């Protein structure tokens, strides 16, 4: 898909018509809509939210969304928001790459959702969940929507061809997309596919403030791409399934038409994608290691200023140029929880053992930092300008204390019990007679 097929800009008021003049002129709810369409509003925030944060869109569609049979509970597979399944675990955790479905199974994006960890509650609209998806089948005559929160999807393997009510988004590895609560979408794939999902409850992702950086930098608003209206006008004799995640459980309702029957829409509540290679990297250019907040792509703020429900942070290709500096991440204990994944390449603090498609979790105040090999090499290596290339790691950083699910801690069988040994050989270098 060429870029021309998207609308560009973060948080814009967009208008998009798949047929000419399909949007009503000068009002949202005319007595009769153009082309005999139904008008339907989807709100992303409470009606009463201030203008700065208020989000809603108007959809002009062939059938209103309400036209479906009742929802029935369905199996939720490895999806869970039960944070008391396991005993709390403060250890440093690392997962080997999560499995793709085996060839004898057919698993689509929804069936392939598995929750690793999370905290809080969609009922109270406060919290977050981290999921893995792994699928080998496209969703056919089936869509999904999440009543609980927004999905930030990070493909690691395989392109996602996503059809939404607003139009189509192709999302490749090294791109991400956000599909907000309520929005119906369907995922088609070309190969067995895998990735990570950060779900947030009660808030939408925003661009971080830039402070002294100035008016430009980090993720530029113009690089966020939203779909253009396109619609399906079809009847399904065997029915079309609408799958809903509601309070952590799945439900299914049948209807006889496509949910992707929106001929035109306008508003500022709309899914988007972003290519991580467009990130304008800021870093320390003289000495010391800057905190990773300089790499924040999107933030989902809590009600406490400066504290996020969850941040999406990347570790993109960049030059390391600092002098008289230990350049990799410092050893640290963070009041936030850090879940990391690797899209491609290697992560500078852990060249061994942290593989693309795998993950790590360092919970609040759990000590971590560079492995022994990284420490020795970076404490002694020549400090020439060095390009950290061919890599894309990321972090979901949250102010919540995360609970592991049974799937994340046991069923997936990917936890590396030897992870802690990457620090076991750190030598004592202390010399009481050291002179400056």
Ligand X SMILES: O=C(O)Cc1cc(O)ccc1O
Among 292, 317, 345, 353, binds ligand X (CB under 6 A): 292
Please give the size of the binding site for ligand X, defined by CB under 6 A.
Answer: 9
Compute how many other C-beta atoms are within 10 angstroms of the C-beta atom of residue 65.
Answer: 19
292 touches, from ligand X, Fe ion, none (C-beta below 5 to 8 Å by class): ligand X
Annotated binding site for homogentisate: 347, 368
Query: What is the rounded radius of gyration, in angstroms, for the C-alpha atoms of the chain?
Result: 23
Could you give the maximum distance between any two Cα atoms of the chain, in Å? 87
Contact residue for ligand X among 150, 175, 223, 338 (CB under 6 A): 338
For the chain, report the end-to-end CA distance as a whole number of angstroms. Answer: 60
Which residue, chain included where needed, has tokens 């970076």?
378
Question: Residues comprising the binding site?
Answer: 332, 338, 347, 368
By the 8 A CB rule, do 316 and 279 touch? yes
Cβ proximity to ligand X, 28 vs 334, nearer residue: 334
Burial label for 331, CB within 10 Å (0-12, 13-18, 19+), is middle
Residue 289 bears catalytic tag: yes
186-225 mask for ligand X (x: CB under 6 A)? ----------------------------------------
DSSP helix/strand/coil, 362: strand
**What x-and-dash track marks residues 366-385 binding ligand X by CB under 6 A?**
--x-----------------
Per CB under 6 A, the segment of 7-15, 132-140, 179-187, 331-339 that binds ligand X is 331-339
CB of 320 to ligand X, least distance (A): 11
Q: Please name every residue paired with 308 in a beta bridge, in sequence order, or none if there are none.
A: 301
Site membership for ligand X, residue 183 (CB under 6 A): no
Position among 62, 154, 188, 349 found at the interface with ligand X (CB under 6 A): 349
329 binds ligand X (CB under 6 A): yes
In angstroms, rounded to a whole number, what is the distance separating the alpha carbons of residues 359 and 370?
Answer: 15
Paired tokens of 357: 């498609």
Selected catalytic residue, list 63, 204, 289, 429: 289
Looking at the Cβ atoms of 72 and 332, the one nearer to ligand X is 332
Burial of 334 (0-12, 13-18, 19+ CB in 10 A): middle
Under rule CB under 6 A, residue 395 binds ligand X: yes
Q: Do the beta carbons of residue 300 and residue 87 sit within 8 Å?
A: no
Residues lying near ligand X in the complex (CB under 6 A): 292, 329, 332, 334, 338, 349, 362, 368, 395
Return the active site residues. 289
């Amino acid at each position: 898909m060429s870029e021309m097929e998207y609308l560009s800009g973060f948080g814009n008021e967009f208008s998009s018509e798949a047929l000419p003049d399909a949007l009503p002129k000068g009002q949202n709810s005319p007595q009769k809509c153009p082309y005999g369409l139904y008008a339907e509003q989807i709100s992303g925030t409470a009606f009463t939210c201030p203008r700065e944060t208020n989000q809603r869109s108007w959809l002009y569609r062939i059938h209103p969304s309400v036209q479906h049979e009742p929802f029935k509970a369905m199996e939720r597979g490895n999806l869970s928001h039960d944070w008391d399944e396991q005993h709390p675990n403060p250890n440093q955790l690392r997962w080997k790459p999560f499995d793709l479905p085996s060839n004898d199974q057919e698993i689509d994006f929804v069936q392939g959702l598995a929750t690793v960890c999370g905290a809080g509650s969609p009922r109270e609209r406060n919290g977050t969940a981290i999921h893995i998806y792994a699928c080998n089948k496209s969703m056919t005559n089936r869509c999904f929507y999440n009543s609980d929160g927004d999905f930030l999807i990070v493909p690691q393997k395989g392109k996602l061809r996503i059809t939404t009510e607003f139009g189509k988004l192709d999302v490749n590895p090294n791109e991400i997309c956000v599909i907000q609560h309520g929005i119906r979408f369907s995922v088609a794939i070309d190969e067995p596919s895998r990735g990570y999902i950060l779900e947030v409850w009660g808030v939408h992702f925003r661009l971080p403030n830039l402070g002294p950086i100035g008016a430009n930098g980090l993720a530029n608003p113009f690089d966020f791409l939203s779909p253009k209206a396109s619609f399906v006008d079809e009847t399904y004799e065997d029915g079309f399934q609408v799958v809903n995640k509601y309070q952590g459980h799945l439900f299914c309702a049948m209807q006889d038409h496509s949910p992707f029957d929106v001929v035109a829409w306008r508003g500022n509540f709309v899914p988007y994608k972003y290519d991580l290679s467009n990130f304008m990297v800021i870093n320390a250019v003289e000495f010391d290691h800057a905190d990773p907040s300089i790499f924040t792509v999107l933030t989902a703020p809590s009600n406490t200023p400066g504290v996020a429900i969850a941040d999406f942070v990347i570790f993109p290709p960049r030059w390391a140029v600092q002098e008289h500096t230990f350049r990799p991440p410092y050893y640290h204990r963070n009041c936030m929880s850090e879940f990391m994944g690797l899209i491609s390449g290697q992560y500078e603090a852990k060249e061994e053992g942290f593989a693309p498609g795998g993950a790590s979790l360092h919970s609040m105040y759990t000590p971590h930092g560079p492995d022994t090999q990284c420490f020795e090499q970076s404490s002694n290596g020549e400090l020439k300008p060095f390009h950290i290339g061919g890599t894309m790691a990321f972090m979901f950083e949250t102010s919540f204390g995360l609970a592991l699910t049974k799937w994340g801690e046991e069923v997936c069988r990917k936890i590396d019990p030897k992870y802690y040994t990457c620090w076991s050989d750190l030598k004592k270098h202390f010399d009481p007679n050291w002179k400056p």
